[in-house]
Copies of this chain bind each other. A is one copy, B any other.
Amino acid sequence: MTTEDRGPASSFDQLIGTEWISDDPADARARVPLRDDLRQPYGLLHGGVVSTLVESLCSRATAIAVHPDGSIAMGQAIEVSLLRPVTTGGAEARARARHRGRTTWVWEVEVFGGDQRLCALAKMTLAVRTRPDQA
């Protein structure tokens, strides 16, 4: 599929500077370089940036994967365990679709900091539904 099939670009991902690396459901990847306006009060990368990165990556990769079947993906739940602060470099999320059901996809996600240490573990659940124009 072409980029156009993925729908319009994501404004919020542009705002935080998400860089797409891979949409492969077996090894999807994206990263956000650290900038001063992505920090929380103590100067660390805001956990909300980590949650956003996870949700964007899994949503995008699922949407692309189910598009040929006439389906769309909608984020349903996200869980993030914050293990270590990210202080330099940025964050890279590496996601694996562990369940690709007819109505539900479930992803496990690792997030690494600029030093390549594991800084967060996440799980994202998406509902898969028939695209309105295909129903």
Contacts and interface: CB of A to CB of B under 8 A. Distances in A.
A52 interface: yes
The copy count of this chain in the complex is 4
A5 to B, nearest CB: 11
A37 interface: yes
A52 B55 contact: no
Contacts of A99: 81, 83, 118, 121
B76 A78 contact: no
A4 to B, nearest CB: 12
Interface of A: 6-15, 36-43, 46-49, 51-53, 55-56, 59-60, 63, 74-83, 98-99, 101, 103-104, 106, 108, 118, 121, 123, 125, 127
